[in-house]
Amino acid sequence: MGHNLLVLEGDGIGPEIVAEAVKVIDRLCSHHGFQASVEYGLIGGAGIDSVGSPLPEETLECARLSDAILLGAVGGIEWDGLERHLRPEQGLLRIRTSLDLFANLRPAILYPSLTDTSTLKPEVVSGLDILIVRELTGGIYFGHPRGISELDDGEKQGFNTLTYRESEIERIARVAVDIASKRSAKLCSVDKANVLEVSELWRGKVTEVCDAIGGVSLNHMLVDNAAMQMIREPRQFDVIVTDNMFGDILSDVAAMLTGSIGMLPSASLNSRNQGMYEPVHGSAPDMAGKGIANPIATILSVAMMLRYSLEEPDLADKVEAAVQRVLDDGARTADLGGSMSTAAMGDAIVGQL
Q: Active-site residue among 211, 224, 286, 314?
A: 224
Q: Is 224 a catalytic residue?
A: yes
CA distance 55 to 290: 26
Nearest C-alpha neighbor of 283 from the set 87, 136, 106: 87
Q: Active-site residue among 23, 67, 191, 192?
A: 192
Q: Is 129 a catalytic residue?
A: no
Residue 117: partners with Cβ closer than 8 Å, 6 or more residues away:
258, 259, 260, 336, 337
Can you state the angle between helices 223-232 and 244-257, rounded to 10 degrees?
Answer: 10
CA distance 134 to 131: 10
CA distance 106 to 86: 27
CA distance 157 to 214: 45
Q: Is 238 a catalytic residue?
A: no
Q: Active-site residue among 205, 248, 308, 335?
A: 248
Q: Active-site residue among 26, 100, 129, 141?
A: 141
* Pair type for strands 217-222 and 68-73: unpaired
CA distance 310 to 277: 12
Q: Active-site residue among 26, 100, 238, 252?
A: 252
User: What positions carry a catalytic annotation?
Assistant: 141, 192, 224, 248, 252
